[in-house]
Structure 1
């Protein structure tokens, strides 16, 4: 489990596989970051929650050539990026 702290102080516990989807976090983990909580000084909790949701969804989709899963993911992505 990886613990992330947003700019506004909210704590997020995420599976390592999810955290490794985030390149900055991946590099910190690979460099043996020694703190138990990884601070994300420029990311609000609202944005971090959204990014974590995105990463989780992309990990859930099988890597195989399943057309239905790929179409579902495309639909998810299209809806996901529509924000105010």
Structure 2
């Protein structure tokens, strides 16, 4: 999953920054994995969200192994 996620910045030019990793195990109850992505604006995020390469990773690799997820979008 991480390997496929790491390919996305090379396939989706709207991604300005893309960081991911596993939980450091410091706080109980934390999620196992995080992806933090930065985009120029909401339109660029929507391109990423709907891009076929992202949809394939999200739908085929992440969804089947995910019991719970948290999603946050914010604007600076």
TM-score, normalized by length of structure 1?
A: 0.29
* Greater strand proportion: 2
* Greater helix proportion: 1
Q: Which has the larger radius of gyration?
A: 1
TM-score, normalized by length of structure 2?
A: 0.31
